[in-house]
Structure 1
Amino acid sequence: MITLHWVYALAGAIFAAFALLGLRDRPVNAAFWGLLAVSMWAGDALGDMGNGLLVLGLVGLGASGRMRRGEGDVPPEVRQARADAHGNRLFVVALIIPATALIGTFAFKAVPDWFEAKQATLIALALGVLVAWLAGSLWLRARPGVALEQGRRLIDSVGWAAVLPQMLAALGAVFALSGVGDAVGGVVQQAIPQGSLFGAVVAYGLGMALFTIVMGNAFAAFPVMTAAIGVPILIRGFHGDPAIVCAIGMLAGFCGTLLTPMAANFNLVPAALLDLSDKHGVIRRQVGTALPLLGVNILLIYWLAF
């Protein structure tokens, strides 16, 4: 049976390839991606202490300031000529990935003896990457190593921010297990007017957005705010629909994602890749969308969940 471990093995192999390709000219980058490969391959075997030390190693390398951005090895005029020759058909290769993920999600669940049904989407996504890699190499007549070399260039441009969502989501789980949600809930309950449903909904929506702004990831804010307000007040206290409260609450958190540099992979990396003069330009453009959308999400919870 193909399980999630196969996906981790594939991801580890790709990060290991990035590390090997970077040994000669970007040793710090190589060490960073090498540690990530070890995490993918042997995370279960390392235990809590081993994984903790590995994360500290990643943080140390990322904070050292010695990770170098990827440099393009294809002249701009050559890239432009290739883009002109193929046009928008180049997007077909990229679209293979989500198409395979969508089809595989439904198809793999029909054969539970072959694929782990609970992880069908992630398995299909990994398969989509392999199919797109093969299709792109055959169509563009490029050796398979070209994709890895260009992938290394791109991942080096993104740098440590590539693993920020994973780390922040783990931080949210740590906060939830350590009782941060209960502590926050105690403070918030004192601030909400007694018996005020609307006040509780506003506190939950704003709390999701604000915690996301601080932590940079709605997945990190979700366990904290849901434990603090969502479950004890909105669901148990006011008998709200759990699906609506949690789903739209996550959307409220995503509004915070649009407003924070902590969500570096969304808001800072694009500015760097596009060479924008204002590194916070992406965030400034998103404010006009994020704030009204946050208000709408709060109202939707109030109208639909109770």
Structure 2
Amino acid sequence: MIGITLAYDLAGLMFAAAAWRAARDAGNPRRLGAGLFWALLALSFLAGDHLGDLGNGVLVLALAALGGFGLMGRGTEAEAPRAEREAQARRWGYWLFPLLFLPPVVALAGTLWGPDLTWGGRPLVDPRQGTLIWLSLGIVAVLVVAIILTRQRAAAPLRDARRLLELVGWAVILPQVLAALGGLFALAKVGDAVAVLVGQYLTLDHRFPLVCAYTGGMALLTALMGNAFAAFPVMTSGIALPLLVGRFGGDPAVISAIGMLSGFCGTLMTPMAANFNIVPAALLELPDRNAVIRVQVPTALLVLAANTLLIQVLGFPK
């Protein structure tokens, strides 16, 4: 049976390839630091289950040191020659664009019909993580198809992956780290403390103020920590499940899904989400490092208000 380890192994192999190419980049005076950073990240994906809590903790501290003290540098590996890219663009035009839809199509098809696929009397794909596994398979499929169509060397995706990783830098691991932070908050029962505060300052007899507290809290906590994955277990265990679902009979799937989207509204409004908001400003060499955030704030507030109304209307079966 194919399990979720497939997704981790694929990501680990990509980071391992980036580490190898970074360490051999003679144009980067800090190539050893860059290679070590991506190698440690690859190790966390490929063998994290075998390192134990102490080993993973030391690994994270090493990653923080390499990234925080600027020991990585930036590689000198360039894109494919401009003439080659222009020739490919003229040849294929917009016909490559539909390939972008292949991973979600494979993920959707696998989620709907994958449970019917069996091997030796067992499910071919672990049904508990089916969507993520099928999405990973879809990414591999689109990669293979793109290489065949464009007649590129197999090393071309690795070259461009490493180049993009080094453009983003250490911020590429923020989603992973902040998701782990959310898990720590859940284990520390921070959600229980949130529930106590809500009970002290809000009436529990009316539903709409609690909906506002949930969506607004998701956006605010996400803005403070930089990622909705860290805020989700705290706010959902503190407000959504015990109050909106348990007390008012809300639909947990609808409330949780829209609640996560509310958290992403906070992502749009904070410099803590460096990989989304600060890195693009740096890559575009904008004079104002917060320019991306300023443009996104009105849209984020509008979507947050819409999410609040959607939960109020759709989240509670009549």
**How far, CA to CA, are the matches of 2:22 and 2:223 in structure 1?**
33
Q: Contact conserved, 2:12 with 2:46, CA < 8 A, in 1?
A: yes
Report the 3-state secondary structure (helix = DSSP H, G, I; strand = E; otherwise coil) of the residue aligned with 1:2.
coil
CA gap of 1:73–1:218, structure 2 versus 1, over 3 A, is: closer
Q: Which residue of 1 aligns with 2:49?
A: 44
Q: Contact conserved, 1:70 with 1:155, CA < 8 A, in 2?
A: no
**How far, CA to CA, are the matches of 2:128 and 2:231 in structure 1?**
24
Report the 3-state secondary structure (helix = DSSP H, G, I; strand = E; otherwise coil) of the residue aligned with 2:109.
helix
Q: Contact conserved, 2:216 with 2:262, CA < 8 A, in 1?
A: yes
Deviation at 1:158, TM superposition (A): 1.5
Q: Which residue of 1 aligns with 2:137?
A: 127
Q: Which residue of 2 aligns with 1:21?
A: 21
Paired residues in the alignment total 306
Q: Which residue of 2 aligns with 1:86?
A: 92
Q: Contact conserved, 1:97 with 1:128, CA < 8 A, in 2?
A: yes
**How far, CA to CA, are the matches of 2:101 and 2:255 in structure 1?**
32
CA gap of 1:129–1:302, structure 2 versus 1, over 3 A, is: closer
TM-score under structure 2 length normalisation: 0.87
Identify which range, 12-21 or 74-83, moves more after superposition: 74-83
Unaligned runs of 5+ in 1: none
Identify which range, 99-108 or 162-171, moves more after superposition: 99-108
Identify which range, 13-22 or 74-83, moves more after superposition: 74-83
Deviation at 1:130, TM superposition (A): 2.2
Query: What percent of counterpart residues are identical?
Result: 51
- 1:1-306, aligned counterparts within 5 Å? 1-25=1-25, 26-71=31-76, 72-76=78-82, 78-112=84-118, 113=122, 114-193=124-203, 195-306=205-316
Any idea what the Cα deviations from partners look like across 1:86-127, whole Å, max 9, x if unmatched? 322232443333333333333432214322222222222222
**How far, CA to CA, are the matches of 1:239 and 1:133 in structure 2?**
44
Deviation at 1:160, TM superposition (A): 1.6
Deviation at 1:281, TM superposition (A): 2.4
Deviation at 1:170, TM superposition (A): 1.0
Deviation at 1:16, TM superposition (A): 0.8
Amino acid at match of 2:73: R
Unaligned runs of 5+ in 2: 26-30
RMSD: 2.2
Report the 3-state secondary structure (helix = DSSP H, G, I; strand = E; otherwise coil) of the residue aligned with 1:283.
helix
Q: Contact conserved, 1:168 with 1:215, CA < 8 A, in 2?
A: yes
CA gap of 1:53–1:300, structure 2 versus 1, over 3 A, is: same
Amino acid at match of 2:171: A
Q: Contact conserved, 2:22 with 2:75, CA < 8 A, in 1?
A: no
Identify which range, 137-146 or 238-247, moves more after superposition: 238-247
Deviation at 1:36, TM superposition (A): 1.2
